[in-house]
Structure 1
Amino acid sequence: MLQTTQAEDIISVKKHTPSIKSTITTTTTLSATLIYDDELNRLPKKIAKRVVTFQPRSSQLDRETLDSHQYPFRGFFTLFWIAMGFYIIQTGVKNFQSAGILLDLTFFRLFSQDALGLILSDVCMVGSMFFAVLLQKAIAHGWIRWRYTGMIIQHIFQVTFLFVPIYWTFFKGWPWVQSGFFVLHTISMLMKLHSYSFYNDEREEGEKQQILDQLKNKIEQVEGYLHSPTGNIRYPENVTLTNYIDFLLVPTLVYELGYPRTEKIRPWYLFEKILATFGTFFLLYVNTETYIIPVLPNVSTSIHNTMVQMLFPFMMNYLLIFYIIFECICNVFAELTCFADRNFYDDWWNSITWEEFARKWNKPVHHFLLRHVYQSSIESYKLSKRDAAFMTFFLSSLIHELVMVVVSKKIRMYLFFLQMSQLPLIWLSKLPAIKGNKWLGNAFFWFGLFLGPPMLGVLYCREVFASD
């Protein structure tokens, strides 16, 4: 599907490239000095828009960030966790008074079912990804060509990689927790697989030589097309098991020859994030076990009454899931791999449009869709920006609905249509009455976020439990 991102991240700006002045020795090796913003205009638009985005950054809700920047609202962050502690105590007291137990284990028995089978299945899924290294080795050694043999093999493998795990969830009859985790992990690994393969395959294309020939008389400043931003690895030297394992572990879905790295692993920081992971998961468990599991399966309660009861529990879960994934787990893997760019999200809570929210709340997926769907749709299929944006939303909505099909074992398209409804909402948010009033736009965004998740939860759970 995606073929022409061969110039991806060719430009390494001041933060990544040391100042070097040399001549061009071959048509495939360019030596560089720094590229300044006004010089980018001289490059072809296709090249200039792809400046390397990875740089050393910390996440916005990281405790060290809050301390170092002296954020005026950092006290509310402390208040939130103290409130969560009292929330757990209050819940335990309530459960003990009503049922004689501190915490029900119904939800635990649900997600621990066939845990060994899930672990083995996940290991097999990840292990199959190393086929991509073998394919890249074959292409790098000239045993096969990417176009069209390698391309066909890659697409067949990607389709198989996605649908075999989906079939496996139905075959195993896993509950929704195991099915949801397995398919989400499969999809995230599929994005890594796609980015790795197409990033390297486009460097095998003869078309890259034409671009370098066109540029060699215009730019002496560029270094980064065949080299990583750090300058210590180049294609095809990167096609190794070590490099591939490193990419599988770093918390990004977009492959690069090199990433900015920290100098060392900080044991206390790692301990803090691991502790936060388990603590946040415990909060998530308590909230789900106490306020969601007892209500959602009850089909005798009216939909609007269930919705009202689910508003705050679902919002709490939404915030906790966001925090555990993007602040805790991503930072754990980043610290273990010395991955320096911790910008896994931006201030999505300040969004005034759904378009802004889509860009900010999940940066790894946003970067993948931007490079491998939006930009590639424009370049490979000559779509307009509007059509490429529609294609990106459409594909994202299909993937979201696919997850719900696996989880609920039914095709209902509720999430698909809710996702696609963001397009008219984006248009609506651009009206002067909303666009010119950030408070109104932000309130409109939070109103939709409060209603959307519990409505989907009620609709899908009604479908599942009503037929049982």
Structure 2
Amino acid sequence: MAEGAARSRPPLGSTDTLDSTKLTGSLSQDGTTAALSVDETTMSNAAPLRPAKEGTQARDFGARSQSEPVILDEGADSSDDTIEDYDDLELDPDTLVANSRKSMDAAYKPLREEPEEEGEDSGSRPYSAPGPNGKHKKRNSIQIRLERTDRKGRYTLTADDPEIRSILRKGIEREEVELGNRKPRRTIRDLVFTRQFTTFDRQNPTSSESPFFGFFTLFWIGMVLLFVRVSMQNYRDYGSILGSNQIAKMMFSHDVLVLGLTDGAMCGSAILEGYLFQTLVQKGYINWAKGGWIIQNLWQSLYLGSLVGWAYFREWPWTHTIFAVLHGLVFVMKQHSYNFYNGYLSGVYRRRTLLETRLRNMQTMEPAMSAPTSPSGLKSKEGMSSGLDLAELTQKTSTKSNEAVKRRPSMGHRTSTNLHVEKSDVASVAQLIESGRSIDVEQMKTFESVIRAEIDDLNRELLGKATSPYLAYPHNLTLTNMAEFICLPTLVYELDYPRQDHINWWYVLEKTTATFGVLCVMMVISQAFIYPPVAKTMLMKEAGMPIEQRWQEFPFIVSDMLFPLLIEQLLTWYLIWECILNVLAEITRFADRGFYGDWWNSVTWDQYARDWNRPVHNFLLRHVYHSSISTFHLSRNAATFATFLLSALVHEMCMAIMFKKVRGYLFWMQLLQMPLVMVSRSKLLKGRVVLGNVIFWMGLFVGPSFLTSLYLVI
């Protein structure tokens, strides 16, 4: 076993040896390199590392938690069986997802292995094509380099990949926060987009390695056989595979063209509103912080209300109405994310412009011959009301051996432009410059360092996740950028996203074919198993059957729709989150396919809410949960309740539009999830994974049929 394990391990890839068991590091300003140094406390007892072999893979560095510094630690046991054993490493959820790749195209071609291009770094292609036996080879990972420096015991770690650089930077920042050297950076960018496949995507190499791969195949074989069986019966009884075809007639016999034009108008108005409104904000005609966000919320309410009113006016069937409303909600969330993120950046931009003006004013000032020495000379009533201590700030700089001030002593609000009210060193310096007080050369250097550090921090904020300054705010405010965001399969706006190199049109064809195939299966199942009990309830109401008799039929209606609604729910989820979103992602070259998690393994309802619909969860996390805490200063529990409340209201609105009546059943059922989450975290259920998963699936099994029957019968 030991020899087999040694043969399967990847060889190390350096010819260097180290004379210490531990290396610690700090990240450079540009985020591309990390300086590593030897821990002197471990050198005396350190055994030298054996010479490394060729072919190092850098995946093990990326697997570390972001909260850890860049460390190489041999540990007590230096045997072959332990030094390269990374099976026990646990991934931090914030770190780079393992399924990173340069392009999906190489993984999609099953039987051809392309030769490596000349000059191409093999470490830049995380996936290799399958071999002749159809199995994927061991995946490569992202390349990093460890080089010696001219100082003994110091090394430089270089990572070209932007995600790895982001992980290193975040880890260093967290370490500095823990050490108390720097206050945490509070930004609106709280989400990480990485390159990854969806779980059930055939291109995902891990999908074929799953021990439950056969059950996935069995499910689709069962769906095909069910489709064939029902289609044959419908053809024998009605002469059509769709049976009496009421659902298809309802979908395609009324206002199909008007529905398409309405959807186009919704899309066009969302693009124009976002672009024009943020252009006015950037030009200074509208102040986002004072009234812009209110105008945006009023527009979103008018947008959604007009859509619902139009659907009622046209008397659309529920299929048309629910499609238009759900698509309208997608556009509302996209407009909200685009406008609120760019509105936030507009405040950052205005603050940077103000500080740049103050800096230019200071550079035109003539420095005094010497600094005032008395405490009364250090402060003035008219220009130094904030109480800036020049001697103290000068001392902070002089202790750094003529180095520039790298970070602000205190951090003000990133969007604040009222420097007379703000309590920070930057605001105090700006007030001093505006007052025209005399300052000497050393103080001028100190103030310039403070302001430039603030401006650099604001520049990083305006750059966001963009890889080029041409994508930074306000260069992103173009009609093309907004139109592109509307088409991307995400509800959270960023200045840039990970992208593929090119589009695989065969993949688009595969997923498009799967989309229409799943739609056909759904229509056949709905017509055969869901339409009859629904029609039965409608006939009972039309016949004037009293509520007592309808209640007697209620258990049988629930049981009749248990399995059909569960299958429809699973197929609807697969249709949207696996087929449609992957088509959009491929066409737009959007590389982050993390549209869902393994929600089928959920043991609590909050886990299900996070995993089954990642795009909506990410939107609620940033724009509802975090915004409630930062803007309205709610507690975490109150922000969680506000998030669940909004979600419940939107779901109940959809049910009211579908059934044309307000009952509140789904609303209260969703709010009931919060106490259920508390129960799942109690001693009664905590740690009982199987029981939690059974309760989850029972709720998902019975819930849709029970709720639908309530809306139909009552």
Same fold (TM over 0.5): yes
Q: Give 1:238 shift.
A: 0.4
Q: 2:494 is paired with a residue of what secondary structure?
A: coil
* Displacement after TM superposition at 1:263 (Å): 0.6
Does structure 2 conserve the Cα–Cα contact (< 8 Å) formed by 1:34 and 1:221? no
Partner of 1:78: 217
* TM-aligned CA distance change 1:391 to 1:46, over 3 Å: farther
**Cα distance in 2 for residues equivalent to 1:195 and 1:253:** 7
CA contact (8 A) 2:293 2:340 kept: no
Are residue 267 (structure 1) and residue 505 (structure 2) matched? yes
Q: Is the 8 A contact 2:597 2:611 kept in 1?
A: yes
Structure 2 residue aligned with 1:438:
689
Aligned position for 1:156: 298
Deviation at 1:208, TM superposition (A): 6.0
The answer to whether 1:419 aligns with 2:657 is no
CA contact (8 A) 2:582 2:593 kept: yes
User: 1: distance between equivalents of 2:276 and 2:495?
Assistant: 18
Deviation (angstroms), 1:397: 0.4
Equivalent of 2:337 in 195, 198, 205? 195
User: Does structure 1 retain, via aligned residues, the 8 Å contact 2:232–2:241?
Assistant: yes
Give me the whole-angstrom Cα distance separating, in 2, the residues matched to 1:95 and 1:377.
Answer: 53
Question: Please, which of 275, 280, 284 is the counterpart of residue 522 of structure 2?
Answer: 284
- State the Cα distance separating 1:297 from its structure 2 match: 2.6
Q: Normalised by the size of structure 1, how large is the TM-score?
A: 0.88
Return the alpha-carbon distance in structure 2 between the equivalents of residues 338 and 460 of structure 1: 42
Partner of 2:273: 131
Per the alignment, residue 262 of structure 2 pairs with 121
| Aligned-residue offset at 1:228 | 4.2
**Cα distance, 1:93 vs structure 2:** 2.1
How do residues 43-442 of structure 1 correspond to structure 2 at under 5 angstroms? 44-45=183-184, 47=186, 50-65=189-204, 70-104=209-243, 105-112=245-252, 113-129=254-270, 130-205=272-347, 210-211=412-413, 224-232=460-468, 233-299=471-537, 300=540, 302-442=553-693
Residue 157 to residue 49, structure 1, CA distance change in 2 (3 Å)? closer
- Deviation at 1:169? 1.0
Which residue number in structure 2 is paired with residue 7 of structure 1?
none
How far apart in 2 are the matches of 1:33 and 1:460? 49
The 2-side partners of 1:221 and 1:73 are apart by: 48
1:70 is paired with a residue whose SS is coil
Q: Which has a greater percent of helix?
A: 1
What is the distance in 1 between the residues matched to 2:609 and 2:452? 38
- Listed one character per residue, the Cα deviations across residues 69-103 of structure 1 (whole Å, up to 9, x for unaligned) are 62222122222212111111111222234444322
**Per the alignment, do residues 44 and 358 of structure 1 end up closer, same or farther by CA in structure 2, a change over 3 Å counting?**
farther
Cα distance in 1 between the residues matched to 2:188 and 2:346: 22
CA distance in structure 2 between the aligned counterparts of 1:281 and 1:389, rounded to whole angstroms: 35
Partners of 2:251 and 2:623 lie apart in 1 by 34
Residues in 1 aligned to 2:294 and 2:639: alpha-carbon distance in whole angstroms: 24
In structure 2, the CA distance between the partners of 1:382 and 1:269, relative to structure 1 (3 Å rule), is same
Partners of 2:230 and 2:241 lie apart in 1 by 8
Report which structure shows greater RCO (CA 8 Å, sep ≥6).
1
| Partner Cα separation in structure 1 for residue 686 and residue 511 of structure 2 | 38
- CA displacement at 1:51 relative to structure 2: 4.5
CA offset digits 1:338-363 (Å, max 9, x no partner): 00000000000000000100000000
Whichever residue aligns with residue 115 of structure 1, its letter is V
Letter in 2 for 1:87: L
- Structure 1: which 4+ aligned runs deviate by more than 3 Å? 11-16, 31-34, 43-46, 48-52, 66-69, 96-101, 206-224
Tell me which amino acid in the other structure corresponds to 2:218: L
How far, CA to CA, are the matches of 2:475 and 2:242 in structure 1?
A: 54
Unaligned runs of 5+ in 2: 1-30, 33-65, 67-94, 101-142, 145-164, 353-411, 415-425, 427-449, 541-549
Contact preservation (8 Å) 2:281, 2:346: yes
Is the 2:242–2:523 contact (alpha carbons within 8 Å) kept by the matching residues of 1? no
Which amino acid is the alignment partner of residue 264 of structure 1?
Answer: H
Q: Is residue 374–residue 392 contact of structure 1 (8 Å, CA) maintained in 2?
A: yes
Structure 1 pair 65–324 and aligned structure 2 pair: CA distance change class (3 A):
same
Which has the larger displacement, 138-147 or 128-137?
138-147
Indicate the residue corresponding to 2:73 in structure 1.
none
Q: 1:39 aligns to what?
A: 173
What is the count of residue pairs matched by the alignment?
Answer: 442
Return closer, same or farther for 1:386/1:33 CA change in 2, 3 Å cut-off. Answer: closer
Task: Tell me if the contact between 1:35 and 1:221 (Cα under 8 Å) persists in the aligned partners.
Answer: no
State the distance in 1 between where 2:706 and 2:266 align.
32
Q: Are the equivalent residues in 1 in contact too, given 2:188–2:341 (CA < 8 A)?
A: no
Distance verdict in 2 for CA 1:184–1:114, change over 3 Å: same
CA RMSD of aligned residues (A): 2.8
Q: C-alpha displacement at 1:32, in angstroms?
A: 9.5
Report the residue type matching 1:285 in the other structure.
M
Question: Do the aligned partners of residues 95 and 333 (structure 1) sit closer, same or farther apart at CA in structure 2, a change above 3 Å counting?
Answer: same
Give how far 1:215 is off: 10
Question: In 1, Cα distance between the equivalents of 2:227 and 2:669?
Answer: 33
Q: CA deviation at 1:453?
A: 0.7
Q: Return 453-462 or 189-198, whichever deviates more.
A: 453-462
